[in-house]
Amino acid sequence: MSKKVLFGFLLFTCMLLFLNQSLTTHSQKVIISELEGRVTLQRDIPWWRFWDYEVLADGDFLQEGDRVRTGSRGSIRMEFPCQTLVTVGPGSLFEIHSTSEDGSRLYMRRGSLGARIVHIIEGLTTFEVETPSSIAAVRGTEFKMHVDYKRTVLIVSSGNVYHVSANVEVLVPAGKMSIAEKNKPPEHPKDIPDEIKEKIPDLPGPPDYPPNGKPD
């Protein structure tokens, strides 16, 4: 092996180690503040063992790459490092894509979700929820979602949420909702009927931040 090839290989290896260390440093764990019913976790499992889940218990935590499923009577409340409280209701399936103090991203495949951003640092802190049909980009607010394969229903309780689908962005203000069907632009904001409100879980209770018992 020539010196140039050996040097190139060593340089590439160092870059990979640096990138891995950088990701590990910035990625943080998600605290589980409450569990109800059956909630299961899939972590570090090959894709062909898609059925293999373990049951979550009090004291566990979540991290990037985790896939979580709630049973028909299950729910989970979480505290993200970007100071965001999230409740996921029964019959839901979601994945955690990123977790850091600057922002977090969650992929909601199906089910219902409520979120509250506790503290916002303008221009730095973000929280995004991606679904099969749209993306909700949040910068300091409260909102709820109901998700299935074909559409996403977004309800904003306070502040503003950007609802994005089919390369179209709609700003949804407090007290309004927007529906996005797959591969179609989001609807313009409109009033929220009572039957829609009843499908979404309650938001987390009053925040106690910073949380106690943060995992190492």
Tell me, what's the pLDDT at 132? 95
d(CA 186, CA 4): 54
- Residue 214 domain-assigned (yes or no): no
- Is there a contact between 195 and 153 (Cβ–Cβ < 8 Å)? no
| pLDDT tens-place string over residues 58-111 | 889 999 999 999 999 999 999 988 778 899 999 999 999 988 877 789 999 999
d(CA 58, CA 56): 7
Res 36 pLDDT > 90: yes
What are the beta bridge partners of residue 192? Answer: none
- Residue 202 domain-assigned (yes or no): no
Residue type, 31: I
Number of domain units in the chain: 1
Residue 124 belongs to a domain with what CATH number? 2.60.120.1440
Res 180 pLDDT > 90: yes
To which H or E segment does residue 105 belong? strand 103-117
* Highest mean pLDDT pick, 5-14, 69-78, 109-118, 192-201: 69-78
Which structural domain, as residue segments, surrounds residue 187?
29-197
- Residue 24 domain-assigned (yes or no): no
- Residue 203 domain-assigned (yes or no): no
Q: How far is CA 129 from the centre of its chain?
A: 5
Total length of the chain: 216
- Is there a contact between 104 and 31 (Cβ–Cβ < 8 Å)? no
On whether the pTM is more than 0.95, the answer is: no
- Residue 51 domain-assigned (yes or no): yes
- Residue 96 domain-assigned (yes or no): yes
Virtual torsion, Cα 9, 13, 19, 23, nearest 10 deg: 150
- Residue 7 domain-assigned (yes or no): no
- Residue 204 domain-assigned (yes or no): no
What sign results for the dihedral spanned by CA atoms 38, 41, 46, 50?
positive
- Is there a contact between 33 and 211 (Cβ–Cβ < 8 Å)? yes
d(CA 27, CA 98): 7
DSSP 48: G
What are the beta bridge partners of residue 40? Answer: 55, 69
Go through 57-82 and write b for each residue having 16 or more CB atoms within 10 A of its CB, e for each that does not: eeeebbebebbbbbeeebbbbbbbbb
